């Protein structure tokens, strides 16, 4: 009975370690995804006026 309990405990520990690794992977995936989406959205309002001011339009526009 004690051996069986010890084997179950080892399996639970392995499962906990695996789930912690997955949690870290998901966390970093979320952070990278948020950075890829939100950083350009924050930079765009600063960059668009620069490009619009450097745009040369033909006379009459």
Q: Residue 61: pLDDT band by 50, 70, 90 thresholds?
A: low
Q: How far is CA 2 from the centre of its chain?
A: 44
List the domain boundaries for the chain: 23-55
What is the greatest pairwise CA distance in the chain?
A: 91
Q: Which residue has the tokens 């789930």?
A: 19
**What per-residue confidence (pLDDT) applies to 14?**
97
**What per-residue confidence (pLDDT) applies to 59?**
74
Q: What 3-state DSSP class applies to 56? A: coil
pLDDT digits (tens, 9 = 90+) for 2-40: 899 999 999 999 999 999 999 999 999 999 999 999 999
- Give the count of beta carbons closer than 10 Å to the beta carbon of residue 37: 9
């Amino acid at each position: 009975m004690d051996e069986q309990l010890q084997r179950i405990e080892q399996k639970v520990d392995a499962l906990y370690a695996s789930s912690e690794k997955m949690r870290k992977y998901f966390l970093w995936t979320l952070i990278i995804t948020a950075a890829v989406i939100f950083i350009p959205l924050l930079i765009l309002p600063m960059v668009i006026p620069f490009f619009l001011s450097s745009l040369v339009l033909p006379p009459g526009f």
